[in-house]
Amino acid sequence: MFLDNHTVKLLDYAFSSPEENLACDEALLDTLEGEYENEVLRLWGSQQHFVVLGSSNKVHQEVFVEECEADGISILRRHSGGGTVLQGPGCLNFSLILRIHPGGPTRNITDTTRYIMQRHADALSTLLGEKVEMMGSSDLTIAGRKFSGNAQRRKLKAVLFHGTFLLDFDLSLIGKYLKIPTKQPEYRNQRSHPDFVCNINCNPSDLKQTLKSLWNADTPLETIPTGVVKKLVEEKYSKREWKFKL
């Protein structure tokens, strides 16, 4: 069980815009850092396609900008690391906002990644009836093909670890809007997007229930930091100087 059987709060909620959804993760991290209270499992999806850069990704190295602009695909940037992804219908996103325990599994970047992803790999192997493996720095794979990418952002007392599961995503769109990444895990072996990624055969509600059970997330989060989300969108996530800073 998770950290001596204690629970995290559940937020199964999506805002109407991609900017708000990205801002919500940062707001939840800031809340736990400041109050040191509720740890949270957040689950959400989007009916809009949009591109999300990692905090240090360079836009024109990673994205076909003209194609995105022509098709009305927003290009956004999150505050965590990791690579550039295309989001939209058919993706299920999770966010874990956890305390950093100096002597525990969240004590550093490597241990946090290993701890969370191994739990997810084991649970999904059972759910799917197929072997799920951790590969690269933070990928989950089946038969060498990636279906989940993950990233994290750390503060002094709290960490955000979040990622995406591909369930019924239009994989053909990835190569239309994203270039082959400049930094690749060795196991990718220069494969194209369609040859590298895959969907998993899983009902979204079953995957949600698996994650809720895994993290003991039975109690809904009582208060969503909507005011902080709105402020972050206005001052950061909607600003071109943030999105195109690199």
- pLDDT one-digit tens code per residue, 20-47: 999 999 999 999 988 767 899 999 999 9
Would you say the C-alpha torsion 130, 89, 16, 74 has a positive or negative sign? Answer: positive
What six digits make up the tokens of 199? 């969907």
CATH architecture, domain 9-243: 2-Layer Sandwich (3.30)
Helices 204-214 and 109-128 sit at what angle, rounded to 10 degrees?
130
What six digits make up the tokens of 49? 């396609």
Q: Where are the domains of the chain?
A: 9-243
The continuous run of DSSP H or E covering 35 comes out as helix 18-35
* Contact in structure between 12 and 43 (CB atoms under 8 Å): yes
* Contact in structure between 116 and 124 (CB atoms under 8 Å): no
| pLDDT for the residue 2 | 45
pTM: predicted TM-score of the whole model, two decimal places: 0.94
109 secondary structure, DSSP code: H
- pLDDT one-digit tens code per residue, 152-193: 999 999 999 999 999 999 999 999 999 998 889 999 999 999
What's the mean pLDDT in 39-65? 96
Distance between CA atoms of 74 and 223, rounded to whole angstroms? 28
- pLDDT one-digit tens code per residue, 72-127: 999 999 999 999 999 999 999 999 999 998 889 999 999 999 999 999 999 999 99
* Contact in structure between 41 and 83 (CB atoms under 8 Å): no
